[in-house]
Structure 1
Amino acid sequence: MEDPDGPRIFQGENATLDLVEKEKEAGWVRVKVEESWFTVERAFLARHSNYFSALFQSGMLESEQKEVYLKGGVHARGFLIALAVCKEENPTVCDPDELVDAVECAAFLQVPCLTEHLCDIIDSDNCLLLYHAAHIFGLQELFHGAALFLCDTYEDLRETAEATIPEDLLRYSQSLSPASYIAIGTHSPSMEQLRDSFRIVCYLDEKEEEWKHLTNLPTLCSTSMAGVAVLDNRLYIVGGVFGYGKDTLDGGFCFDPESGIWTALPGPQQPRKDFTFLGHEGRLYAIGGEFQKRCVATAECYDPQKGQWTLIQQAPRPVTSAACAVARRRMFVCFWKSPDTTDIYEYTPLKDEWKLATTMTRHQSYGHCMVAHRDNLYVMRNGPCDDFLRCLMDCYNITTGQWTAMPGHYINSKGALFTAMIRGDSAFTVKHMLTLEYTISAQEWKPRRQMKGFPKSGSLWTCLIRLPKTGPIEPQVDARGKKKEMPLKDGKEGFVDDIL
């Protein structure tokens, strides 16, 4: 399996240089894996592989050699997949033997981006294989990611898992907490003297098929035109409006389900409402929105560790309520243009740049949301103005760059679909009268089961959070020694005793 780019001839003004000599000058190295040779830049290998980085800096004889022979622990197919991932080529890996070779290569050569790629492609078809392989080769991040996926989809995979996965691995997966569907109504800040019994965060108890109380919103927290997102299994609510003038609220709150407490956090440098908000790779991103009755294009990110907001490259154009999703660790935002066009832009944090990914033109009215499953983006939109309650869906594949119109009308008896969350191969949607779970297939979303609706009408925020399996949460204090607000149950102070 010779490198597809070689052998090559480099031409100069007076002579033709042999490929090997040119590669020596450029700092290239030939890597032999099984019976195949790969010609790769040394700096490229050192940048992406901790194994090669340590080898080239070791000062040993091998560090200066122009040829490296990898003995055992790596197969040619796995190494080829690793090179493709490092070049950001997003290879499709479906064959079981190739998946195992890729896991082995990621573990032996310590290639973080290959490990991330394997975590990204975990699905119901390869979850059990990757889980077992990651355990064998000690790839902890992949092992834990596959365990979480199995935990979320255990009922679907139970029969195969119990027949193929060692009992101790099954126990570990089942010891984890599955992602719970969370819903929050739209509320303005309240007062201590006038508690609103509906100012609560609820979770869906899937066994009893109904919504249950999780925690109360902090008194000063607004979810009206606010930003709601989850990062590292913490719920963040930022901004929003208050008062008759719908003034912008400066600040936000963070809920930690492990402790059951809320903490305050600063608001963005640019006060904003009705903006796009999402968590990605350890940061929160606030994009666009409205300030002083003006639509803005400014954007910024928040580092929870530092407690700081930082301005980033502004959005391609001013936008409010833009739908967003993360697919394959890539961040996408919809920029809707009335009445017929939706531009989907990708924001790359490392480069701090926006790039147009695709444009969709469909006859539609206002309002839509977007979710990601595998390498697909699903864009939900209202039907034509004469059939507003119909909810239509289009699918964009970020690998092939192709759009597909999904068949069927996604609607319940009380209104159109405005919010959805993906867990495993299921999509959850909720309205006041009905909560629906769909099974996602290549052709359509197939209705799977229906449960009780959210016990409050109006717009909803939804997300997924892993709730602890432990018992009551003891009251805690913050760094300033103040007692935290504890959840309320049935209008009284108390503990969260019905989480799971």
Structure 2
Amino acid sequence: MIPNAYLIFEDESFLDSTVAKMNALRKSGQFCDVRLQVCGHELMAHRAVLACCSPYLFEIFNSDIEPHGVSHVTFEDLDPEAVEILLNYAYTAQLKADKELVKEVYSAAKRFKMERVKQICGDYLLSKMDSQNAISFRNFASSMGDVRVLAKVDAFIQDHLLEVSEQEDFLKLPRLKLEVMLEDNLTLPSNGKLYSKVLNWVQRSLWENGDHLERLMEEVQTLYYSPDHKLVDGGLVIDGHSEVFGGEEDHLQFVQKKPVRESTQRQMSCSSSGSLSPSNQAANDPKQTARREWKYIASEKTTNNTYLCLAVLDGVLCVIFLHGRNSPQTSPSSTPCLMKSLSFEAPPEELEEHPLSPMHYARSGLGSFTLHHHSKFLENTLEECLRTVECYDPKEDSWTFIAPMRTPRARFQMAVLMGQLYVIGGSNGHSDELSCGESYDPHADEWTQIPELRTNRCNAGVCSLNNKLYVVGGSDPCGQKGLKNCDAFDPVNKTWSNCASLNIRRHQAAVCELDGFMYVIGGAESWNCLNTVERYNPENNTWTLIAPMNVARRGAAVAVHAGKLFVVGGFDGSHALRCVEVYDPARNEWRMLGSMTSSRSNAGVAMLGETIYAVGGFDGNEFLNSMEMYNPETDEWNDCAQALSALSE
């Protein structure tokens, strides 16, 4: 039967035959209405075909004054062979290029705005990358402004910096030599935050002092690393002054909302010998300089107190050699830490309802957990890190101090395993992510050191599962992106082992155990917040992506109640959140619940009885010492002591 009396016929060979004939017509110049002049070579083609494949050429043809004549388009900076390869692709959908021509094909595809070809060429180049050609690949990706390829090249260099540093391309890079004076009891932190301070020092030298990058590289520069983890100009220390370069959050200065191409209006250009030459732009014009890239890429400790770093300074790929030595000078006075007031105002007596008792300290980025049925433990930070630990008794509505931790720390999570409370990693509030961990014995009221992690990290998730302690994700030592790492600690053998990696890099994720599985919820890859959720099965050591949350969030807290996950607050990239949602594993779905009375990111949360408590956090303006609780039966949050009394009776 022929439906509707129409004849229907599909010729499977027609397209291939037609495409082959059209390409043959192009090569013989028949019916062609486009002439591409590429570095003295003339290539013929058909306007309609090229307009379909190249948005760039479509715009040119569409603006022709005489659209029915022959279009002439000239390219003086493209490779004729590469353009011919793109023309073949436009007619046959087959991309065939000698490996030596892939970069030229990429450049031509970029000009023609052929994004698919760009991606294929970029992936091919990445597949051929090794330690020997990583620097040249990075220079090429930077000149093309390809953020995707550039990020993957940088990740490779981070993992293979020592091998890359032995190659000829690396040895030709311009270099900045720094000698950092140290007090006898100090060592340099071996992570990227130290170099954010170095980048800050270079910026100040160029912008405020009017120095040129080339001049800074002519001789060894002397700096001073103060006891309070600040980087001070060495000359100022000798003169009896102490101007500080680089606070704890300096790395935020180098985060660009939009990627900046190193090739865009570059003030300095790098010659084959590695020397620098200023361009026609004014080297100290901050308007021009702000548009170029400042970026830490990777670093390695080569010998005792000697470090090797690769960074982009003012748009120039450079090597930084940094050596720490004992200081002959007297230390400048420590820079005082800015403290936020720890006081809180009592509510007016005329209010009928009274908030639950506040903690002694306002805290954010704290750890919290229930240990026994009547206590909750919390730790952490204001602008500085705390060792203090507070215990809450809901019957007495009071907070008491217990034994302090051995190490001040912030931006960490905690878990209970075999009656012991564990805290792992975090930040010391200065320049270091931590690899150390400790456990708390509630009977002895004391903390004990446990074996260190193999990777320094903060903002990691911690969870107990099947008599092991798991540490998941976190911030890398550079503080620039999340980690996929998952490590398990055996408290009996006191050893760490590797587990399967996460599907997605993430830090500041909420982590918990439910029904024999471990869940990692939200977080951020770098700065972009995630709504994705992964579940770990310890039986086969695999991570599986499950239903995503309704709201992307990092720094959220999670509690388990009645076989479901309750995710509380967090930060969505622009605001601290009040909203709460619950996950039902039986349905694999998320549902929004009643919102908290306060916005809270990096808060603590724990279950006491049938009640969920949210404690501390940051509301977008200030650190909180308040607490509120959730009643699952009424789907309401309340900060009233009267409601607590009713629940605890």
- Taking structure 2 as the reference length, the TM-score comes to 0.37
Considering fraction of residues, name the structure with more strand.
1
User: Comparing both chains, which one has the higher relative contact order based on Cα–Cα distances under 8 Å and sequence gaps of 6 or more?
Assistant: 1
Larger Rg: 2
